[in-house]
Structure 1
Amino acid sequence: MRIVVTDPIISEFADLLRKKAPGNDWDFVAGISPEAQSGAIARADVLLCAKLASRDAAACTARFVHITGSGTDRVAVDDLPAETVVSRTAHHERSIAEHILMAVLAHQRRLPAVSEQMRSGVWRSVATEASTPLHRTLDELTIGFVGLGGIGTEAVRLCTSLGMKAVAVRRSPVAAEALGSSLEWVKSMDALPEFLAVSDVVVLCLPLTEETRGLMGAIQFRQMRSDALLVNVSRGPIIDEDALYAALKDGLIGGAALDVWWDAPTGTDAPESVSRFAAMPNVIATPHHSGHARQTFVRRATEIAENINAFNEGGRLSNSIPR
């Protein structure tokens, strides 16, 4: 089969893909022009992609399209031919869970502000300045998850193992016992105000849909605790950008850890929104890399190769998307 790969990240694992799915004609086209990529996509038997425009999807003749991540919001799945088989992959749960934990610790220990003070030659602690705030340990905190898929479940496991209490809201609530006794409770999205009022940390780990776009706005920030940390590892537009900026500026919430943004970068030039928020002392800003552990991509490449083999042999595919 002719396999076309447009995703530049998974292309870095070309040797592993070839080894795990031998006997195919691999065409890695991430570095060529958009026009040439479109031509390659139109000739593919199998397409591996992280993004796919509507025009390319409509012209795609691949019998199997494998999205190289978990999100489908940048892939025009609905514009693919009805008979095209589509799968996706993840394996970033552990890496993102560790990122969430890192953000919580950095916020509690005021790591960005303290590091900046030390760089400027200022030694400020309760031993030298009595007004310096004391931090809390993890076993004093309640962490709340909006959404409870693979990322949320792994983060609950990791955070509660260190003594944090965990609560959650999700579209389809299930009993806490079904997801593990480490959760204090799981409720429907109708309980969001209650959830925000009890959470020292609010983690967004749900997909971007028309229902979730703008979910966190001015009303929700007023419902949060004044020292609470907002962590977003999902998609930027789930948060109202201007409302978040105002909440941080006015001290309605304690801080934010933003790994996802409202605009995409241009090469290595960050979107305009990054400079707006990164300049704030209560913001931890990262370039959408919370899932970028080597383990993530090794496991993704392995699953993709196994799915290609299964598709070629008429076997069962993992993580296929109903069409």
Structure 2
Amino acid sequence: MRIVLTDPIIDRFRDVLTRGGSDGHDWEFLVGRPDEEVISRLGDAEVLVASRVSAEMAGAAPALRLVHVTGAGVDRVALDALAPAVHVCNTFHHGRSIAEYVVMAAIMLFRRVPRADRSLRAGRWESVALDPAVPLGGTLAGRTVGLVGMGEIGGAVARAASALGMRVRAVRRDPGAPVPPGVVVDRVDGQDRLPDLLASSDLVVLTVPLSAETRGLVGAAELAAMRPDAVLVNVSRGPIIDEDALYEALAERRIGGAALDVWWGHPKDGLGARGYSRPFDALDNVVMTPHHSGHTLETFAGRARDIAANIGRLSSGHPLENVVRAGVRP
């Protein structure tokens, strides 16, 4: 089969993908190439391995049998533009990495590490031993984490939080669905109970995918429902939160802090090195990272193995795994 790959991270695992060059397929690696060049090379491609597929790419690939997304989200894939026969699969392995990030960021915020780091770099030694006005930080044990979403990421966060002595509650689209294996949760409600979850949680973690239903899910009213010392962590997608409302809540100290790993734009969108328009970087109650909470060796090595295995299944006629959309032959 002819396979085109455009994803720059999975490109690092060529040996895994091609089984050391012995898989017998014709791979073309087009990382960093302009869309026009990619489109010109898709005419006889049977598999496209990518994180983004435009409608133009879909229309230029009449022989396509499989689009294998290199992560979990398919919001950057023009599904409606793909021919009905094209399978779409995704891959995961990021739950543990993101859960560790959530714990790390939450501890940093509850212990006020961003402020302490910034002050010390500026030559100021701010310590409770020297200044009674400096507030004491807190531990995670005994606090409540509220999860918005309970998929792979939410389940991994719940397991990590429970291990640290936190209470866990969640809202999800289908509250009656089984909880992930090994998860101990106090209660699971539908998304209509989001205001109650926000009001009762010390740590709120957003893990839902971006959709028409979740875009703008957390706005001014939802932020106002949070506790004044609560911490918000977003590891889903930026547009799930209203940017202006979040900035105002943080700047005015109406919530305790936020860890933002996802943003409202991307450098490729013309925002330079920023994915935001408000000055979050001027705040000392924010942990900022460039969408890398899941970017570990373990995450992407596992994803490369999944992709290689699914390509093998397609070649041999066996059922695919992690199917987001099953192709239908006319």
Q: Under TM normalisation by the shorter chain, which class is it?
A: over 0.9
1:248/1:39 CA distance change after superposition, 3 Å: same
- The residue that corresponds to 2:300 in the other structure is 297
Alignment match, 2:309: 306
> 1:35 is matched with which residue?
36
Q: Which residue of 2 aligns with 1:24?
A: 25
The question of whether the paired residues in 1 share the 8 Å contact of 2:111 and 2:139 is answered with: no
2:122 counterpart letter in structure 1 = S
- Tell me how far apart the structure 2 counterparts of residues 175 and 26 of structure 1 sit (CA, whole Å): 40
Question: Quick one: distance in 2 between partners of 1:36 and 1:57?
Answer: 14
- Which of 149, 152, 157 in structure 1 is aligned with 2:151? 149
1:260-298: CA deviations, max 9, x gaps?
000111499322516721221111110000000011110
The number of residues matched between the two structures is 323
Is residue 93–residue 150 contact of structure 1 (8 Å, CA) maintained in 2? yes
Of 127, 130, 138, 1:128 maps to 130
Match among 224, 229, 232 for residue 231 of structure 2: 229
**Paired residue secondary structure (2:324):** coil
CA contact (8 A) 1:87 1:319 kept: yes
**Structure 1 unaligned runs (5+)?**
none
**How far does the alpha carbon of each residue in 1:12-39 deviate from its partner, in whole angstroms, 9 at most, with x for none?**
1112211177111110011333211111
The Cα of 1:140 is off from its aligned counterpart by 2.7
Letter of the structure 1 residue corresponding to residue 164 of structure 2: L
Q: Distance in 1 between matches of 2:239 and 2:278?
A: 17
Q: Report the TM-score, using the length of structure 2 for normalisation.
A: 0.93
- Give 1:260-275 correspondences, 5 Å limit: 260-266=262-268, 269-271=272-274, 273=276
The aligned amino acid for 1:117 is S
* CA displacement at 1:96 relative to structure 2: 0.4
Residues 98-137 of structure 1: matches in 2 within 5 Å?
98-137=100-139
Residue range with higher mean Cα deviation, 92-101 or 55-64:
55-64
Contact residue 153 and residue 207 of structure 2 kept, 8 A: yes
Larger CA deviation: 261-270 vs 192-201:
261-270
The alignment-based identity, stated in percent, is 48
Q: Which residue of 2 aligns with 1:284?
A: 287
Shift of 1:144: 0.8
Q: Distance in 2 between matches of 1:177 and 1:114?
A: 38
Residues 3, 46 of structure 2: 8 Å contact kept: yes
TM-score by length of 1: 0.95
Deviation at 1:181, TM superposition (A): 5.9
Counterparts of 1:212-227 in structure 2, within 5 Å, are: 212-227=214-229
Residue type matched to 1:58 in 2? G
Shift of 1:60: 1.8
- 2:147 is paired with a residue of what secondary structure? strand
Residue type at the aligned position of 2:171: V
Q: Separation in 2 of the partners of 1:177 and 1:47?
A: 33
Q: Give the residue type in structure 2 aligned to 1:319.
A: N
Pair 1:134–1:140, CA change in 2 (3 A): farther
SS at match of 2:168: strand
Distance 1:91 1:179, change over 3 A: closer
| 122-131 or 146-155: bigger deviation | 122-131
**Shift in Å at residue 138 of structure 1?**
1.4
Aligned partner of 2:319 in structure 1 is: 316
Question: What is the DSSP-based 3-state SS (H/G/I as helix, E as strand, rest coil) of the residue aligned with 1:130?
Answer: coil
Contact 2:264 2:275 in 1 (8 A): no
Deviations 1:236-282 (A, max 9, x none): 00001111111111221111110000011149932251672122111
Shift of 1:178: 7.2
Deviation, 1:43, is 2.4
> Contact 1:167–1:183 (CA<8 Å) still a contact in 2?
yes
- Inter-CA distance 68–178: structure 2 relative to 1 (3 Å threshold): closer
Task: Give distance in 2, aligned partners of 1:280 and 1:15.
Answer: 43
Distance in 2 separating the partners of 1:301 and 1:51: 16
What is the distance in 2 between the residues matched to 1:264 and 1:8? 15
Q: RMSD value over aligned CA atoms?
A: 1.8
Rounded Cα–Cα distance in structure 2 between residues aligned with 1:237 and 1:3 = 33
SS of 2:145's equivalent?
strand
Instruction: Give the match for residue 11 of structure 2.
Output: 11
Shift of 1:175: 7.3
